[in-house]
């Protein structure tokens, strides 16, 4: 049984020349050309009577606009983000200039993140074109493939890249390493369309030669001070005594610099939008009664439980607290829930628990709405990864509250409850 926690496999994904690449989707005739995005809202491309388009060139630009990004072909000419457009025009007068369209970039941002979430749901959003992804608990992520001990993680990262490409038409670059700090560095090492997998053994060859500025967290001020001290690369920092760095940069930042240079970073991938619960409910076309519409209600109830179970499974969650929600014809809402001994995403277990909840409700009035809810959610992967605990398994089900008995027929029992 796994008693050692699995090694962390953290990915950083960053879209390639993001704004520019989104623009090339609508202007494919610009592929392969130096294209620059920025300079305000003017200079929209013009469609000519023959259907062809006329684009603005950098050389024609006058103003104080700056460049947000550019294609790799423009970068090859020395053009880069935050450069003034007129300055860029000196380097690349024939480069094409397009205005920004944030609305469009936001739409593609949502789309690429959804494509990743289909394969790997533990995502930390880091802005419009990048995310961290925790691959640690994904099925197969820890597997070796042939002689490649990280083959499983590499294959998943490749799948993620493919899915992003399929759903957006855009390429991205991914770094996979034991932590966020290194992955952020790794995703840049083979841009564009890169996939870089690093372990701590790769530090001396792949990370230490890099400029200190490449470490996320070493800004211009720290870099200038480091340069003043004769420290230029990440390796230069790694060779410094920790105590000396603390003397120079203070206790917290000095120690962090040392850890960073040695590739140490324990920060978790923080998913801001962890769902608290998932639910399914339905409002009836006409109010239904527990006795007179028993068959219809029973079928709907089972359907809701099945849908909830599918939602949970698809999103990779288990639920330990199953609840129901009823709205009566007088608009009164009643909820009941039941905490199970272990979390589940099984439709029949959910149906059984929901049925128990239902027994605790007076069903003499007609119903307008019926809902089933799964609370106390846990990630399936996290539950699978933890060692079996005899204590947890032996936990008795929470005693049901004493409840009044209503002499009303309840919904059909589950098929397997009879057997
Ligand atoms: P980045 O990921 O930094 O750059 P990029 O995606 O254009 O190129 P790369 O292939 O190197 O990742 O930024 C993402 C988007 O954010 C970028 O397309 C435009 C915007 N941006 C700005 O508006 N201003 C800036 O200074 C930078 C760096 C980016
Ligand atoms: Mg990018
Ligand atoms: Mg980015």
- Give the torsion through C-alpha atoms of 51, 55, 60, 62, to 10 deg: 120
| Strands of the 172-177 sheet, one edge to the other | 123-125, 130-134, 10-15, 172-177, 195-197
CA-nearest of 111, 74, 104 to 92 is 74
**Cα atoms in the Cβ-side hemisphere of radius 13 Å centred on 315:** 21
- The more confidently predicted of residues 174 and 409 is 174
The verdict on whether 130 is a catalytic residue reads yes
Given the residues 23, 73, 130, 307, select the one marked as catalytic: 130
**Residue 183 near residue 133 (C-beta atoms within 8 A):** no
Residue 129 CA, closest ligand 1 atom number: 14
Structure confidence at residue 273 (pLDDT): 65
Say which residues have a Cβ less than 8 Å from residue 345's Cβ, sequence separation at least 6.
Answer: 309, 312, 313, 317, 318, 319, 374, 380
pLDDT level of residue 237 (50, 70, 90 thresholds): very high
Paired sense of beta strands 10-15 and 172-177, if any: antiparallel
Residue-wise pLDDT tens digits, 336-393: 999 999 999 999 999 999 999 999 999 999 999 999 999 999 988 878 877 655 444 4
**Among 14, 74, 81, 101, residue to substitute to test ligand 1 (most atoms within 8 Å of Cβ):** 81
Computed over every residue of the chain, the mean pLDDT equals 90
Domains, the chain, with CATH or none: 10-15+104-205 (3.30.70.270), 18-101 (3.40.1170.60), 210-261 (1.10.150.20), 278-418 (3.30.1490.100)
**Among 38, 66, 129, residue to substitute to test ligand 1 (most atoms within 8 Å of Cβ):** 129
Structure confidence at residue 209 (pLDDT): 98
- Average pLDDT estimate for 258-264: 98
- Phi, psi (5° rounding) for residue 230? 80, 15
**Residue 274 near residue 392 (C-beta atoms within 8 A):** no
Going from the Cα of 347 to the center of ligand 2, the distance in angstroms, rounded, reads 42
Assigned token pair, 259: 């850890």
Structure confidence at residue 398 (pLDDT): 42
| Strands of the 333-344 sheet, one edge to the other | 278-288, 367-379, 317-328, 333-344
Residue-wise pLDDT tens digits, 71-90: 999 999 999 999 999 999 99
Residue 37 CA, closest ligand 1 atom number: 19
Going from the Cα of 174 to the center of ligand 1, the distance in angstroms, rounded, reads 15
- Give the C-alpha separation, 374 to 280, whole Å: 9
- Phi, psi (5° rounding) for residue 296? -60, -50
Structure confidence at residue 391 (pLDDT): 47
Going from the Cα of 194 to the center of ligand 2, the distance in angstroms, rounded, reads 12
Q: Which residues share a beta bridge with 372? A: 280, 324
Residue 38 CA, closest ligand 1 atom number: 23
Residue-wise pLDDT tens digits, 264-302: 999 999 887 667 789 999 989 899 999 999 999 999 999
Relative orientation angle of helices 242-249 and 251-261, to the nearest 10 degrees: 140
Residues with CB under 6 A from ligand 1: 14-19, 68-69, 81-82, 128-129, 191-192
**Residue 37 near residue 57 (C-beta atoms within 8 A):** no
- Give the C-alpha separation, 342 to 318, whole Å: 9
What would the DSSP string read from start to end of 126-183?
Answer: -STTEEEEE-TTSTTTT--BTTBTTHHHHHHHHHHHHHHHHHHS--EEEEEESSHHHH
pLDDT beyond 80 at 318? yes
Going from the Cα of 14 to the center of ligand 3, the distance in angstroms, rounded, reads 5
Percent of the chain, pLDDT > 90?
81
């Amino acid at each position: 049984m796994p008693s050692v926690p699995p090694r962390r496999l953290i990915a950083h994904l960053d879209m390639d020349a993001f704004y520019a690449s989104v623009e090339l989707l609508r202007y494919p005739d610009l592929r392969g050309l130096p294209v620059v995005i920025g300079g305000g809202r003017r200079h929209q491309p013009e469609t000519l009577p023959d259907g062809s388009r006329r684009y603005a060139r950098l050389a024609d630009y006058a103003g104080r606009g700056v460049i947000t990004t550019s294609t790799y072909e423009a970068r090859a000419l020395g053009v880069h983000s935050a450069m003034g457009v007129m300055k860029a025009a000196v380097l690349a007068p024939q480069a094409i200039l397009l205005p920004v369209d944030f609305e469009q970039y936001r739409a593609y941002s949502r789309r690429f993140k959804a494509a990743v979430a289909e394969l790997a749901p533990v995502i930390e959003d880091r802005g419009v074109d990048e995310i961290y992804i925790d691959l640690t608990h994904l099925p197969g992520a820890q597997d070796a493939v042939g002689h490649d001990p990280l083959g499983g993680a590499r294959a998943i990262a490749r799948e993620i890249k493919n899915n992003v490409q399929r759903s957006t038409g855009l390429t991205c670059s991914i770094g996979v390493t034991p932590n966020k700090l290194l992955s952020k560095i790794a995703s840049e090492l083979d841009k564009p369309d890169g996939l870089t997998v690093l372990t701590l053994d790769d530090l001396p060859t792949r990370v230490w030669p890099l400029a200190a500025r490449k470490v996320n967290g070493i800004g211009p001020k720290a870099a200038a001070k480091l340069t003043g001290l004769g420290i230029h690369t990440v390796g230069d920092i790694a060779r410094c005594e920790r105590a000396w760095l603390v003397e120079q940069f203070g206790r917290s930042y000095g120690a962090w610099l040392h850890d960073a240079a040695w590739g140490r970073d324990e920060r978790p991938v923080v998913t801001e939008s962890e769902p608290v619960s998932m639910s399914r409910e339905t409002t009836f076309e006409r109010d239904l009664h527990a006795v007179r519409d028993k068959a219809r209600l029973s079928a709907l109830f089972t359907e809701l439980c099945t849908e909830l179970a599918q939602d949970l499974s698809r999103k990779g969650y288990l639920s330990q607290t199953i609840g129901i929600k009823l709205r009566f014809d007088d608009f009164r809402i009643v909820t009941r829930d039941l905490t199970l001994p272990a979390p589940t995403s099984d439709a029949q277990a959910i149906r059984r628990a929901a049925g128990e909840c239902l027994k605790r409700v007076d069903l003499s009035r007609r119903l307008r709405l019926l809902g089933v809810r799964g609370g106390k959610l846990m990630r399936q992967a996290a539950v699978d990864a933890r060692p079996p605990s005899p204590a947890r398994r032996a936990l008795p089900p929470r005693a049901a509250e004493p409840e009044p008995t209503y002499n009303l027929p309840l919904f059909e029992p589950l098929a397997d409850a009879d057997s």
